[in-house]
Structure 1
Amino acid sequence: MHISLEGRNAIITGSTKGIGLAAAKGLAAAGGSVVVNGRTQEAVDEAVMAVRKMAPDAGIRGVAADLGTAEGCQALVDAIPECDILVNNVGIFGPEDFFDVPDSEWQRFFDINVMSGVRLSRAYLPGMEKRNWGRVVFLSSESGLNIPTEMIHYGFTKTAVLSVARGLAKRMSATGVTVNSVLPGPTLSDGVGAMLKESAEKRGVSMEQVGQEFVRKMRPSSIIQRIASVEEVANMIVYACSEQASATTGAALRVEGGIVDSIA
């Protein structure tokens, strides 16, 4: 199967590192014009160079905007008024006991992880509908199904994302626009990689071993029994954005290594 996104314009939020950057590279490699987003101009410029290095012929732009605010989302829309593909990837996470999380932190997680996708989908979906083609992908998580006790405030936002995506898919019925969620499990992003590297160096073992131990302890139901790469998650995102995925909508596409113990 050859995926071509020639002539398609894609926005990937929170794409200066990790899964977002891998998705930007994957979409650009498939021929799409890509907009990279992050909070600082320096991070955005570095990501643009990284994507351009992989796909030198692709059209690549960068927009620095804090999508955790309504003003930041509007700044992105003002800079890029239309797109064919929207990947709502931006998000934050962090373990903290439920009884230690103040209202302000619940609100911050909700604004970044949920409302950024709500605001941008509201801005871009009408144009997709008029053009009779569009792809919207929300980054959820296996934590949206298996709520982690150490990150309840995070898990709840990822459950909310699933609801928004499913509802929007139904709202866009028969329009040529698809809306899906992608659910990663533990993934070797920059932050996780730094954590594993520090632990591996202290113990004198490989990162692979530390990663396997982490999965077996924290996500013992994993079938692959390892951490996924950002590229493995990005592959699913690219597919969901493709022409070939035209009959895939309203779906929760799992790339979590079989952690969720369900056949459906």
Structure 2
Amino acid sequence: MNLDISDRIALVTGADSGIGKETARRLLEAGVRVAISDKAGGELDRTVAELSALGEVVGVEADVTDGVSVTALFSAVRDQVGDPDILVNCAGVTGATGDFLEVDDKGWLETLDINLMGAVRTARAAIPAMRAKGWGRVVLIGSEDGVQPYVDELAYCASKAGIINLAKGLSKAYGPDNILVNTVSPAFIATPMTDKMMAKRAEERGVDVERAIESFLEEERPGMALKRRGRAEEVADMIVFLCSERASFINGANMRVDSGSVMTI
């Protein structure tokens, strides 16, 4: 399928691994010029080197919890490849988990600052140039947790519910400018974040990681009909489709890539 976005410019945050990395890969394969970003101390340089064979890709370190850093990120991307036509905000964390009564304000605020306010800051920086061009795509990463909360992850759930609501609001505000804003909501994808979750579960239960994954699916995610973790590229394919001209009438949608995990319609 021709996505008709060759030579567009994209910025993907949280892109040194997982869903962000695979999204950058798919965008490059579609002929998009791509800037990827992640915080310092990760795998950004290695990811740029890996993806560079596919097309033009640059890496810029940034912290989405810092407004000054986000401004510097967009300035650097503008200087190196141009103003982004496409923003995919994949930066996020599981954040504070545990019994609601035992998670303090610091845990809540850190989770919301990265997941929700990180999306606010990057979208606020991206939209003016898209508006000037008369074309833009913004994809924010939600989660099944945004509509189906789990009691030990309430800070994460609330942040992702906020993401879904934010995207819907932005879609109404900037759709008239031909800036389409949508959300992709995965469930239990094989990424470094869920790898850590499963390693911890395996240690706590005295089992190997594969058994930890099986028990998590059985006990915590019974709606996932395929009975496996998703793959990052399965989420990336949906994200890139929403960035394309093939999705030119999709705006304000929350696309679930979750193996049926969400129990309602």
Give TM-score scaled by structure 2 length.
Answer: 0.90
Match of 1:141 among 140, 143, 153: 143
Question: Does the Cα contact within 8 Å between 1:189 and 1:230 map onto a contact in 2?
Answer: yes
Letter in 2 for 1:153: A
For 1:59, the equivalent position in structure 2 comes to 56
Q: Match for residue 103 of structure 2?
A: 101
Q: CA RMSD in A?
A: 1.9
Q: What are structure 1's unaligned runs of at least 5 residues?
A: none
Task: Report 1:112-191 matches (<5 A).
Answer: 112-191=114-193
Is the Cα–Cα contact under 8 Å of residues 69 and 111 in structure 1 kept in the other structure? no
User: Retained in 1: the 8 A contact 2:64–2:122?
Assistant: no
AA at the equivalent of 2:233: E
The C-alpha deviation readout for 1:28-67, integer Å capped at 9, x for no partner, is: 11111111111116521011112224x1xx1100000111
What does residue 248 of structure 1 align with?
250
Give aligned-pair identity as a percent.
Answer: 33
Q: In the alignment, what sits opposite 1:50?
A: 50
Cα drift, residue 19 of structure 1: 0.8
**Is 1:88 the equivalent of 2:89?**
yes
Count residues in correspondence.
257
SS of the counterpart of 1:90? coil
What is the aligned partner in structure 1 of residue 12 from structure 2? 12
Moved more, 183-192 or 42-51: 42-51
Q: Deviations along 1:69-112, whole A, 9 cap, x unmatched? A: 21221221221242000001100104322122221221111111
Deviation (angstroms), 1:212: 3.5
In structure 1, the residue matched to 2:40 is: 40
2:73 equivalent in structure 1: 76
Question: What CA distance in whole angstroms lies between the structure 1 residues aligned with 2:214 and 2:33?
Answer: 36
Runs of 5+ consecutive residues of structure 2 not aligned to the other structure: none
SS in 2 for 1:63: strand
Give the Cα–Cα distance (whole angstroms) in 2 for the partners of residues 149 and 203 of structure 1. 24
Counterpart amino acid of 1:19? Answer: I
TM-score, length of structure 1 as denominator length: 0.91
